[in-house]
C-alpha cells in the first residue's frame, strides 16, 4: 500500500510573490483548503500559507517562498499528501494507488491479469487490465462485474461482461 498520494502538479508560477498554479489530481480540489503541508517527490515538505481558486484551479502560496525565483524550479513537480493526511474513505471506496498493480482473478480463481490503471469516466470507474498476452481489457467497476476488491491482499475478482 502506498504511503503517500498525489494531489496535484505545479503547472506554473502566478504573479511575482511566490504563488503557484496547481493542476489538481484529487477528486475534490477544495481539499487544498484543509491541507496544511505537502510533499514534493524529493521528500521536501512545503507548508501551505494560502490557497485560493481561479477558474476552478488552486493557486497556492507556500510559507517561506515569497518570490517568483523561489518557485520557478517547482514547475512540473507533483504534490503529495501522506496517507494520514489523505481524504478519508467511505465504505466501499479505495485509493486508486492501492489498487494499481493488484492481480486480477476470475471468479473461478484463475488469474486474469494485472490492474494497470483505473479510468475515471464520470458515470463509473473502469478497470484497465493487462492480460498475460499483453492485451488490455476494460471492465466497468460496478458490482455485477467486480464482486470483490481486496487491496490488502493485492487481489481483485472480476466477472467480465460477455462480448457481443
Q: pTM for this one?
A: 0.76
C-alpha distance from residue 70 to each of 39, 117, 146 (Å)? 16, 35, 47
pLDDT in tens, 9-35: 999 999 999 999 999 988 888 889 988
Which class for 114: exposed (0-12), middle (13-18), buried (19 or more C-beta within 10 A)? middle
85: cell is 493526511
- What is the pLDDT confidence band of residue 163, given thresholds at 50, 70 and 90? low
- pLDDT at 3 (0 to 100): 85
pLDDT in tens, 49-91: 999 999 889 999 999 999 999 999 999 999 999 988 888 888 8
40: cell is 514534493
Identify the weakest region by mean pLDDT among 27-36, 73-82, 98-107, 139-148.
Answer: 27-36
Task: Give residues with Cβ within 8 angstroms of 136, minimum separation 6.
Answer: 116, 128, 129, 130
Q: How far apart are CA 87 and CA 1, in angstroms?
A: 15
Which DSSP string corresponds to 116-135? Answer: EEEEE-SSSEEEEEEETTS-
Closest by Cα among 89, 100, 86 to 154: 100
Amino acid at each position: 500500500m502506498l504511503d503517500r498520494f498525489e494531489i496535484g502538479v505545479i503547472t506554473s508560477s502566478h504573479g511575482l510573490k511566490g504563488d503557484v498554479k496547481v493542476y489538481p489530481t484529487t477528486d475534490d480540489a477544495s481539499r487544498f483548503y484543509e491541507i496544511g503541508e505537502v510533499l514534493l517527490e524529493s521528500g521536501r515538505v512545503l507548508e501551505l500559507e494560502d490557497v485560493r481558486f481561479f477558474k476552478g484551479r488552486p493557486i497556492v502560496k507556500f510559507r517561506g517562498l515569497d518570490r517568483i525565483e523561489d518557485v520557478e524550479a517547482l514547475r512540473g513537480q507533483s504534490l503529495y499528501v501522506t496517507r494520514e493526511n489523505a481524504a478519508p474513505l467511505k465504505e466501499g471506496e479505495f485509493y486508486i494507488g492501492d489498487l494499481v498493480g493488484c492481480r486480477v482473478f476470475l471468479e473461478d480463481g484463475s488469474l486474469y491479469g494485472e490492474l494497470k490503471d483505473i479510468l475515471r469516466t464520470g458515470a463509473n470507474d473502469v478497470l484497465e487490465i493487462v492480460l498475460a498476452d499483453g492485451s488490455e481489457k476494460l471492465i466497468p467497476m460496478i458490482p455485477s462485474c467486480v464482486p470483490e476488491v481486496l487491496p490488502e491482499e493485492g487481489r481483485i475478482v472480476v466477472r467480465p461482461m460477455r462480448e457481443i
